[in-house]
């Protein structure tokens, strides 16, 4: 019996035919009834038996074919279990809906990855390809498919930035320490903020500059802003925010107005010639990024603090004070417990007092100073 079971399991591993897999599973179930072979939150909610085993095996096979770039085969497997799930013999009620949704996501992933894989041919023939690529790129980032993105051949600017960002995210989540990956992303992004020739003339006293995209870098600053607005995933937003914050601090070169940042060890601490960069453009892009992050994750304290710091550096005391107070509010659960010192440090407190003084709210500033021992 054990030799037969081993033979059947080998056949299960080698086969990609839904019909053969179904037959093999039925034979295994007769030999080893009640045996649980795998774990998956949605599929394991199905009743034990053939159906649960069948769905799990086909899903695993479809993902394996996806890794091998056999997209049509992967879709065929997924379509087979989708039809099974939607048939009267499949699961019922809410479980059926969840399973169909899971299969639908896998089908979408197969479509996106095939789009990326075939991009050279599509780029030359399809007018819809650029918008399709943009959707594919941001979707893969947002569902944390960093392995697929980081392995793409980097021939186009969009691929370059998405792949570099995915590589850094993957390394960060895996707690790696490869500084080259973050340095590559840094070197790709910062040229977008170089001053144009017209802006340089204005900076030394010429006529007012017309704000335009820098011709340097892997994409224009406008394209970078559009890219940011499509990124919703926390780690990707965090890495981009950290990078631009570091660049802002270097260009500002003022410790009294420096911004706090996460993942500080990822980035260099200097640039070759800060005078060649536009801190105004960095600030605008960083504000877009932080606005996006706070809209999606309103309780992420480091971004509330960073927005407060950015507004403080830009001499916006009302807005700065608002975000400092929001960070205090969130960190203390609406002031039901003490505000952590990591949020309300002495430096932050001094900034809040200065904001109050600038707004001629001297009583509020004195109260904050006396309450916190400043």
Arithmetic mean of pLDDT over the chain: 79
Residues linked to residue 277 through DSSP beta bridges, in sequence order: 194
Q: Encode 17-77 in three state secondary structure.
A: CHHHHHHHHHHHHHHCCCCCCCCCCCHHHCCCCHHHHHHHHHHHHHHHHHHCCCHHHHHHH
| Confidence band, pLDDT 50/70/90 cuts, at residue 44 | low
Q: What is the pLDDT of residue 113?
A: 77
Tokens of 190: 């910062």
Average pLDDT over residues 300-318: 95
Most confident of 28-37, 105-114, 214-223: 105-114
Single out the residue of 277, 278, 349, 337 nearest to residue 308, CA to CA: 349
Single out the residue of 326, 281, 334, 276 nearest to residue 301, CA to CA: 326
Q: What is the pLDDT of residue 150?
A: 77
Residue-wise pLDDT tens digits, 337-372: 999 999 999 999 999 999 998 888 866 544 444 444
- Predicted TM-score of the model (pTM): 0.69
Q: What is the pLDDT of residue 66?
A: 83
Residues linked to residue 194 through DSSP beta bridges, in sequence order: 277
| Confidence band, pLDDT 50/70/90 cuts, at residue 233 | very high
What is the number of helices (H) and of strands (E) in the chain?
18, 0
Residue-wise pLDDT tens digits, 143-198: 888 887 777 655 545 557 888 999 999 999 888 767 888 999 999 999 999 987 54
Q: What is the pLDDT of residue 239?
A: 96
Task: Say if residues 318 and 359 touch (Cβ distance below 8 Å).
Answer: yes
Q: At what angle do helices 301-313 and 317-331 cross, to 10 degrees?
A: 160
353 to 22, 63, 260: CA distances (angstroms): 70, 56, 18
Q: What is the pLDDT of residue 34?
A: 52
Single out the residue of 143, 103, 88 nearest to residue 18, CA to CA: 103
Average pLDDT over residues 103-120: 75
Give the 3-state secondary structure of residue 92.
coil
> What is the rounded distance in angstroms from the CA atom of residue 51 to the CA atom of residue 59?
12
Residue-wise pLDDT tens digits, 197-214: 544 444 433 333 444 455
Q: Is the pLDDT of residue 70 over 80?
A: yes
- 3-state DSSP helix/strand/coil % of the chain, to nearest 5: 70, 0, 30
Q: Is the pLDDT of residue 305 over 70?
A: yes
Reported residue count of the chain is 374
Q: Identify the residue whose tokens are 């660049």.
A: 247
> What is the rounded distance in angstroms from the CA atom of residue 75 to the CA atom of residue 65?
9
Residue-wise pLDDT tens digits, 73-89: 988 988 888 888 777 66
Most confident of 40-54, 113-127, 192-206: 40-54
């Amino acid at each position: 019996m054990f030799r037969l079971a081993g033979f059947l399991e080998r056949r299960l591993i080698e086969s990609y035919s839904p019909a053969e897999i179904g037959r093999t599973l039925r034979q295994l179930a007769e030999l080893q009834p009640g045996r649980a072979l795998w774990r998956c939150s949605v599929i394991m909610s199905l009743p034990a038996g053939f159906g649960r085993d069948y769905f799990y095996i086909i899903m695993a096979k479809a993902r394996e074919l996806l890794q091998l770039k056999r997209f049509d085969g992967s879709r065929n497997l997924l379509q087979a279990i989708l039809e099974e799930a939607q048939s009267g013999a499949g699961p019922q009620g809410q479980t059926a809906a969840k399973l169909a949704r899971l299969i639908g996501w896998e089908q979408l992933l197969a479509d996106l990855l095939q789009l990326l894989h075939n991009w050279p041919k599509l780029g030359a023939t399809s007018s819809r390809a650029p918008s399709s690529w943009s959707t594919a790129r941001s979707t893969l980032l947002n569902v944390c498919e960093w392995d697929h993105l980081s392995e793409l051949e980097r021939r186009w600017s969009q691929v370059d930035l998405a792949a570099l960002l995915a590589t850094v995210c993957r390394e960060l989540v895996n707690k790696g320490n490869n500084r080259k990956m973050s340095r590559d992303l840094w070197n790709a992004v910062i040229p977008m903020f170089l001053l144009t020739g017209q802006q340089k003339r204005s900076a030394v006293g010429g006529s007012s500059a017309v704000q335009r995209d820098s011709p340097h870098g892997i994409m224009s600053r406008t394209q970078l802003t559009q890219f940011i607005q499509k990124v919703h995933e926390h780690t990707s937003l965090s890495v981009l925010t950290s990078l631009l914050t570091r660049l802002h601090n270097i260009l500002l070169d003022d410790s009294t107005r420096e911004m706090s940042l996460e993942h500080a060890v990822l980035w260099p601490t200097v640039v070759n010639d800060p005078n060649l960069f536009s801190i105004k453009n960095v600030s605008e892009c960083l504000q877009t990024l932080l606005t996006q992050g706070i809209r999606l994750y309103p309780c992420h304290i480091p971004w509330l603090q960073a927005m407060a710091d950015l507004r403080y550096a830009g001499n916006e005391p009302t807005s700065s004070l608002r975000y400092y107070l929001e960070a205090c509010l969130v960190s203390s659960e609406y002031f039901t417990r003490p505000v952590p010192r990591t949020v309300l440090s002495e430096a932050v407190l001094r900034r809040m007092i200065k904001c109050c003084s600038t707004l001629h709210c001297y009583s509020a500033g004195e109260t904050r100073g006396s309450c916190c021992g400043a």
